[in-house]
A and B are shown apart, each in its own frame.
Chain A
Amino acid sequence: MPALSSTMTEGKIISWIKSEGEKLSKGDSVVVVESDKADMDVESFYDGYLAAIMVEEGDSAPVGMPIALLAESEDEIAAALAQKSSSPAAATTTTTDPSPDSTTSNETPRGITNANISSRSSVANGAMGSSVHPASEGGKRVVASPYAKKLAKELGVDLIGLVGSGPNGRIVAKDVEVAAAAKVSASGGAAVASEAAKPSTGAAVVELGTVVPFTTMQSAVSRNMMESLAVPTFRVGYTITTDALDTLYKKIKSKGVTMTAMLAKATALALVKHPVVNSSCRDGKSFTYNSSINIAVAVAIDGGLITPVLQDADKIDIYSLSRKWKELVDKARAKQLQPHEYNTGTFTLSNLGMFGVDRFDAILPPGTGAIMAVGASEPTLVGTKDGRIGLKNQMQVNVTADHRVIYGADLAAFLQTLAKHEKPERLVNKEESKETCNNNQRKNFSHGMKVERRGEEDDDVDNEEEKMDMLWEDLNEKFSRKLVADSDMSSPDRDVQISCVKTLKWSKTNGHLFSGKKLSILLLMKILMKKVFVVHNSRSSIKNRAW
């Protein structure tokens, strides 16, 4: 199928001027094709015989698909016919470059409900029927609005498996756009997460000297990469010391926490403080401040890239986040990700650190405001402010952002906040982590006593401060959570609690002033926490805790 106009994606055969077996000479009109613009006669570029017609009158075919076989001599007609019936793609005399994939897809019978939808068998087979549309018969039928269908065709998005956000779960244009953007973001990172599947064996046996057309996913990547050129991006890099993070990671690794989840969590918590970095520019005229912080993480999968999304990464605790991540990666490998699981990202992470890459640069996925490229964390010799030289684990991150909404200072502030997560225990919170917290705190406590006795150097003092911070924060967070949980209480009670939390917060800052009395402050804190919790528990009669 020749491209008769720059915007033509498929053509419809109006009529065959020549019939099978007829002799053609160069310049003869062979077929009338209807494009998006007009009906045109298509001429033959070669002399020969019209051996076999593969697309009948009235049928459509995408640009580039073979529509007929041309034989050089009469003898070859029979051979060509045989080829047509057996493996049309293998024909060497086709008028256009054959592609087995597109041929099979075209042969897929089209029902009325998914007419105009290019259904790729690979995806169609998948058990992705999750559309909640009442009439979609458990996902067997695609219910999409007319524009969504048009757009899907245009953007090369497969509607099968998309979850619609329209009325009754109908797929609307927005869903298709999001899905298309997700494909881009998957490729935008051009990076592979540690969980990424190993390069498939199929990819290794690429036949050299051949031209392999893009798959749907790859063409979406290609298209979206071009689209990203329209966004004025800039980059800001930062070197982050990860000692504390690494320590924490070692501690909680056994509980199934992954580095990706930790990075996502740290990023999400930093984004809470810098909502502009989580924003995007959709129309070139306004900021779109996203209501939730959804961290998309690039993962390489067979034949492409996808960006599973950790939704509300700022709110979900690190353990749940890790479990969620594992689940997403498994789904991604099985190609069972639901659209909302890969196209709702507001900020993208791309990590090549596990391959030893120390720094790289990512392309901004259209529709989002920023992407962060994460390099490997490596032991680095660093000079400290007091003139000493020490070994610290450092990691380079490089953020690419849309300068229409995110400015240099915004990124700088964001990165600074991120780097300050050298008290990364903060990442560990929420209900499920209670026991861990508890253990940590106890350890910290004894550790602190030891330190006090030995009177160790600055580093340890810093550590102590961090641990205190952590305790305070834990306490504060627990209380703020309780406040929400107990919101049905009478208002005086609530006031008391709020003031209590405020006081504690204040006391935390004060704590630094009495650096010499760290131990006593820690003790005081422990006591305070216990007391308040006892009071609290007795009133709200929540089930017993480890306290």
Chain B
Amino acid sequence: MQASVSSLSISLPNSTFRSNIRFCGLRQQALGFQSVSQSQLNKSQRIRIVGRKSRLQKRLVSVSASDSDNGSPTKSFDYDLLIIGAGVGGHGAALHAVEKGLKTAIVEGDVVGGTCVNRGCVPSKALLAVSGRMRELQDEHHMKALGLQVAAAGYDRQAVADHASNLASKIRNNLTNSMKALGVDILTGFGTILGPQKVKYGKVGFPDNVITAKDIIIATGSVPFVPKGIEVDGKTVITSDHALKLEVVPDWVAIVGSGYIGLEFSDVYTALGSEVTFIEALDQLMPGFDPEIGKLAQRVLINPRKIDYHTGVFATKITPAKDGTPVIIELTDAKTKEPKGTLEVDVALIATGRAPFTKGLGLENINVETQRGFVPVDERMRVIDANRNLVPHLYCIGDANGKMMLAHAASAQGISVVEQVSGRDHVLNHLSIPAACFTHPEISMVGLTEPQAKEKAEKEGFEMSIAKTSFKANTKALAENEGEGLAKLIYRPDNGEILGVHIFGMHAADLIHEASNAIALGTRIQDIKFAVHAHPTLSEVLDELFKSAKVNASVTKPVSEPVAV
């Protein structure tokens, strides 16, 4: 231990002239480890060493000593890349790092898979799969129109809950195995940054282990955000973490927040027979969505269902149910701050967003100040310290940096970082990252909303146009009797650049990728409109959309560079 610490303290002054020397050293080391990993014998040896950290430390110190004998830089690391947090972001980065030949380790204090796999996208999709089917089976009118006769549909709550937890554990195992198979070391414990390129980790009650890595990625993700005044008891006042276990299907559930999480849960709960009350602080439900899509979604997803809502109010105080009294929610006007009454419900689900999980990361050790908990980063995910300087070799991806709190965005950011540390500059275009809400029907989007595009058009002085197509005109949608839906394209008629695409309708989440890929690759409408779509498919909705756009094709100007947030 002593030895390793001293070796690291030596590395500090060297960091000023790291650029080219480090580069060579990295190459050598990477190659060396790659050969090790190929050898079956050495691999098993390494796994054993990981188990007993002190031995590893000594051995590595001796290795570095031998390196220096060979004339390499004295600095040497346990790993090329260390990722703190084995969520979807960390996993994506780890896989890509191995592909790039980096020796990679991942530190996880909880369970592999993070929020998405264990408490987020994955189990919620299992519940939504159930709710979608329930909805279909309960819709007598719809069934009749298809000529189907179905007896009353029912469900077994525990079996539904099991489906969600089974799916989560299956995906978790898949994730774990995929990393193990590639030789990524999974280190158990909470990681804390001790200094540049140095991290300690360990379980509570066990001695800490200290390891070094050339580059470190923070991917610690987020936890449900609970506003002040709300007391979460996990039974009657819950967050998505609890709700996904589906321990109860309450008669009446108030959902605080009408974003993705709230909407998806309203879909699940109403399909299973609950009644829902939305509490939204902003004046409109679904504030994050394109207004037109939000309005249509409200007509389909809210108004005909057993849902009511209070907008423009804060849930300032929520008291869990106790001794026969229901959950009591005190509402306050968002603008005037005056009390706006009280609600009594069976369960309150707090879906007010997510807060970064960055406490205990040891950011103070490297002079980094979080902003509302988020780790400040530049467009290349490099961490910025309190003096607005970049912290070398430290990156932060995913929910912890707050740029775009989506699992696949975290993964994309992780891949971008790996590209950078393995020698290729890369900037991720966040406007090409699609987002989806898995209600029935689904909502998906990529790029700018109409108001955002309008603002940008005014600022940059270009013309903006909008094209729309309806699912009602799509053969496949009509065959499924699911004609409700809209696709909306926001574009520049002068050069054919796609600014944003928003879809509300059947399988919208799967349809968006044609648009997101086009944005990512800079494909212009006048080019993509000639691409052929199989008939009859839902993809033809987008085909129609592109074809209906009126682009001044004679203008051939290169599409603007990818935009980073």
Interface on A for B, CB 8 Å cutoff? Answer: 36-39, 111-113, 115-116, 133-135, 141, 143, 145-150, 166-168, 170, 172-173
Beyond the given A141-B341, A143-B344, A170-B344, could you list 13 further A-B residue pairs with CB under 8 A, ordered by the A residue number?
A36-B299, A37-B299, A112-B340, A113-B342, A141-B342, A145-B306, A146-B307, A147-B306, A149-B308, A150-B308, A166-B251, A167-B251, A168-B326
- Quote the shortest CB–CB distance from B69 to chain A (angstroms): 74
Beta-carbon contact of B251 and A113 below 8 Å? no
**Which one of A37, A133, A148, A149 contacts B344 once the chains associate, using CB atoms below 8 Å?**
A133
Beta-carbon contact of A112 and B331 below 8 Å? yes
CB pairs A–B below 8 angstroms (17 shown): A36-B303, A112-B331, A112-B341, A116-B308, A135-B342, A141-B341, A146-B306, A146-B308, A150-B306, A150-B308, A166-B251, A168-B324, A168-B325, A168-B326, A170-B252, A170-B326, A170-B344
Counting CB contacts under 8 A, is B276 at the interface?
Answer: yes
Counting CB contacts under 8 A, is B313 at the interface?
Answer: yes
**What separation, in Å, do the CA atoms of A167 and B306 have in the docked complex?**
17
- Quote the shortest CB–CB distance from A462 to chain B (angstroms): 53
- Quote the shortest CB–CB distance from A356 to chain B (angstroms): 48
Q: Which residue of A lies closest to B340 (CB)?
A: A112
**What separation, in Å, do the CA atoms of A115 and B252 have in the docked complex?**
17
- Quote the shortest CB–CB distance from B267 to chain A (angstroms): 15
Q: Which residue of A lies closest to B296 (CB)?
A: A38
Counting CB contacts under 8 A, is B165 at the interface?
Answer: no
Interface on B for A, CB 8 Å cutoff? Answer: 251-252, 275-277, 295, 299, 303, 306-308, 310, 313, 324-326, 328, 331, 340-344, 346
A168: chain B residues at CB < 8 Å are: 324-326, 344
Which of the listed residues A113, A116, A149, A173 has the most CB atoms from chain B within 10 Å of its own CB? A113
Beta-carbon contact of B299 and A135 below 8 Å? no
Beta-carbon contact of A145 and B340 below 8 Å? no
B251: chain A residues at CB < 8 Å are: 145, 166-167, 172
Beta-carbon contact of A135 and B344 below 8 Å? yes
A166: chain B residues at CB < 8 Å are: 251-252
Decide if the interface of chain B is mainly helix, strand, loop or mixed.
strand
**What separation, in Å, do the CA atoms of A141 and B277 have in the docked complex?**
17
**What separation, in Å, do the CA atoms of A116 and B328 have in the docked complex?**
21
Q: Which residue of B lies closest to A147 (CB)?
A: B306
Q: Which residue of B lies closest to A116 (CB)?
A: B308
- Quote the shortest CB–CB distance from A160 to chain B (angstroms): 15
B310: chain A residues at CB < 8 Å are: 112, 115
- Quote the shortest CB–CB distance from A251 to chain B (angstroms): 50
Given contacts A166-B251, A172-B251, contact A111 B344 (CB under 8 A): no
B307: chain A residues at CB < 8 Å are: 146
- Quote the shortest CB–CB distance from A148 to chain B (angstroms): 8
**What separation, in Å, do the CA atoms of A97 and B324 have in the docked complex?**
49
Beta-carbon contact of A145 and B325 below 8 Å? no
A116: chain B residues at CB < 8 Å are: 308
**Lowest 6 CB-CB distances: which A-B pairs, in order?**
A147-B306, A146-B308, A112-B341, A146-B275, A145-B275, A147-B275
Q: Which residue of A lies closest to B328 (CB)?
A: A135
Q: Which residue of A lies closest to B342 (CB)?
A: A135
- Quote the shortest CB–CB distance from B44 to chain A (angstroms): 60
A133: chain B residues at CB < 8 Å are: 344
Q: Which residue of B lies closest to A168 (CB)?
A: B326
**What separation, in Å, do the CA atoms of A145 and B253 have in the docked complex?**
9
- Quote the shortest CB–CB distance from B129 to chain A (angstroms): 24
Which of the listed residues B306, B324, B346 has the most CB atoms from chain A within 10 Å of its own CB? B306
Beta-carbon contact of A146 and B277 below 8 Å? yes
Q: Which residue of B lies closest to A143 (CB)?
A: B344
B308: chain A residues at CB < 8 Å are: 116, 146, 149-150
**What separation, in Å, do the CA atoms of A437 and B295 have in the docked complex?**
71
**What separation, in Å, do the CA atoms of A148 and B345 have in the docked complex?**
13
Q: Which residue of A lies closest to B341 (CB)?
A: A112
A170: chain B residues at CB < 8 Å are: 252, 326, 344
Which of the listed residues B295, B303, B340, B344 has the most CB atoms from chain A within 10 Å of its own CB? B344
B342: chain A residues at CB < 8 Å are: 113, 135, 141
Which of the listed residues A143, A146, A148, A172 has the most CB atoms from chain B within 10 Å of its own CB? A146
B313: chain A residues at CB < 8 Å are: 112
B276: chain A residues at CB < 8 Å are: 146
- Quote the shortest CB–CB distance from B322 to chain A (angstroms): 12
**What separation, in Å, do the CA atoms of A141 and B342 have in the docked complex?**
10
Q: Which residue of A lies closest to B306 (CB)?
A: A147
- Quote the shortest CB–CB distance from B560 to chain A (angstroms): 33
**What separation, in Å, do the CA atoms of A111 and B277 have in the docked complex?**
16
**What separation, in Å, do the CA atoms of A148 and B341 have in the docked complex?**
19
Q: Which residue of A lies closest to B310 (CB)?
A: A112
**What separation, in Å, do the CA atoms of A91 and B325 have in the docked complex?**
50
A38: chain B residues at CB < 8 Å are: 299
Q: Which residue of A lies closest to B343 (CB)?
A: A113
A115: chain B residues at CB < 8 Å are: 310
Q: Which residue of B lies closest to A113 (CB)?
A: B341
**What separation, in Å, do the CA atoms of A148 and B324 have in the docked complex?**
22
**What separation, in Å, do the CA atoms of A134 and B325 have in the docked complex?**
8
**Which one of A36, A146, A148, A167 contacts B326 once the chains associate, using CB atoms below 8 Å?**
A167
**What separation, in Å, do the CA atoms of A146 and B276 have in the docked complex?**
6
Q: Which residue of B lies closest to A149 (CB)?
A: B308
- Quote the shortest CB–CB distance from A147 to chain B (angstroms): 4
- Quote the shortest CB–CB distance from A51 to chain B (angstroms): 30
- Quote the shortest CB–CB distance from B283 to chain A (angstroms): 10
Q: Which residue of B lies closest to A135 (CB)?
A: B344
Beta-carbon contact of A111 and B325 below 8 Å? no
B252: chain A residues at CB < 8 Å are: 145-146, 166, 170
**What separation, in Å, do the CA atoms of A150 and B276 have in the docked complex?**
12
Q: Which residue of B lies closest to A146 (CB)?
A: B308
- Quote the shortest CB–CB distance from B329 to chain A (angstroms): 10
**What separation, in Å, do the CA atoms of A173 and B306 have in the docked complex?**
10
A143: chain B residues at CB < 8 Å are: 344
Which of the listed residues B313, B324, B328, B341 has the most CB atoms from chain A within 10 Å of its own CB? B341
Q: Which residue of B lies closest to A166 (CB)?
A: B251
- Quote the shortest CB–CB distance from A326 to chain B (angstroms): 36
Beta-carbon contact of B346 and A167 below 8 Å? yes
- Quote the shortest CB–CB distance from A137 to chain B (angstroms): 9
**What separation, in Å, do the CA atoms of A39 and B325 have in the docked complex?**
42
**What separation, in Å, do the CA atoms of A167 and B346 have in the docked complex?**
8
**What separation, in Å, do the CA atoms of A534 and B383 have in the docked complex?**
98
- Quote the shortest CB–CB distance from B70 to chain A (angstroms): 73
Q: Which residue of A lies closest to B254 (CB)?
A: A146
**What separation, in Å, do the CA atoms of A141 and B344 have in the docked complex?**
11
- Quote the shortest CB–CB distance from A381 to chain B (angstroms): 56
Q: Which residue of A lies closest to B303 (CB)?
A: A36
**What separation, in Å, do the CA atoms of A116 and B276 have in the docked complex?**
15
- Quote the shortest CB–CB distance from A424 to chain B (angstroms): 45
**What separation, in Å, do the CA atoms of A170 and B325 have in the docked complex?**
12
Q: Which residue of B lies closest to A172 (CB)?
A: B251
**What separation, in Å, do the CA atoms of A173 and B252 have in the docked complex?**
12
**What separation, in Å, do the CA atoms of A166 and B252 have in the docked complex?**
10
**What separation, in Å, do the CA atoms of A38 and B326 have in the docked complex?**
37
B299: chain A residues at CB < 8 Å are: 36-38
Beta-carbon contact of B275 and A111 below 8 Å? no
- Quote the shortest CB–CB distance from B518 to chain A (angstroms): 30
Q: Which residue of A lies closest to B331 (CB)?
A: A112
Which of the listed residues B252, B313, B340, B343 has the most CB atoms from chain A within 10 Å of its own CB? B252
A146: chain B residues at CB < 8 Å are: 252, 275-277, 306-308
**What separation, in Å, do the CA atoms of A112 and B340 have in the docked complex?**
6
Which of the listed residues B275, B325, B340 has the most CB atoms from chain A within 10 Å of its own CB? B275
- Quote the shortest CB–CB distance from A167 to chain B (angstroms): 7
